[in-house]
Amino acid sequence: MRITFMQSGGFAGMLKGCTIDATDLAPEERQELESLVAASGLSESFERFSSTGRDLRQYEIVIEQHATVQRIVCDDRSVPEAARPLLAFLVARARPQPPGGG
């Protein structure tokens, strides 16, 4: 499993992100990540944004596993509740990214 995560927006507009390859993780952390993905309910790609609120953080999560790719794009208010623990795991590992995402 490989996850690419990007966070943008918010009041400061800061871009943060990370790429996590489960094979590079310690066994305990890999198991935690796999459990969070399974519990997240993210089983298909979608884009969903709140129609209200300004300066919300936006998230892009790309999950590659078992020859499938899921791309989830949402903001603070439209993150599925079951996916919030996975989001917290990814945010904790995200680091500032250069402008343009590269």
pLDDT per position as a tens digit, 2-61 = 999 999 986 666 799 999 999 999 999 999 999 999 999 998 999 998 887 677 899 999
Q: What are the phi and psi torsion angles at 14 (to 5°)?
A: -70, 140
pTM over 0.85: yes
pLDDT band at residue 66 using 50, 70 and 90 as cut-offs: confident
Closest CA to 63 of 81, 85, 90: 90
pLDDT band at residue 98 using 50, 70 and 90 as cut-offs: confident
* Stronger pLDDT, 34 or 66, i.e. the higher one: 34
